[in-house]
Amino acid sequence: MSTDVSEALKSLDNPMRLAILNWLKDPRKHFPEQEIDPEEVGVCVSIIQKRVGLSQSTVSLYLTALQRAQLVTSQRIGPWTYYKRHDQNISAFIEALRSLI
């Protein structure tokens, strides 16, 4: 991954996006209602939206920002989209940031 530190920092410059990324670190704990294995497939947008308490469109925009920064990945299964952390890219971002500051 060619880490775009600026893009990642912009995506994390929102308390709710940062919280979502943190919750996705331990999806079984934070999204216990997820029936499909959240560590393998990810967490459904609608389940994230219920936890966040914001509109589905706002949550989708937040997740899109995190995906644009390559901090999460998405997978579509039928009509639903599932998101999970991209830990390898998160580590690359942290290393890139560390080298800059």
Architecture field, domain 5-100: Orthogonal Bundle (1.10)
Distance CA(39)–CA(61), nearest Å, equals: 22
Tell me the pTM: 0.91
Amino acid at residue number 20: I
Q: Give burial (CB, 10 Å; 0-12/13-18/19+) of 4.
A: middle
Q: How far, CA to CA in Å, does 83 sit from each of 27, 57, 68, 96, 97?
A: 10, 15, 13, 23, 24
Per-residue pLDDT tens over the stretch 89-98: 999 999 999 9
**Which whole number is the average pLDDT over 32-36?**
91
Q: What is the pLDDT of residue 29?
A: 96
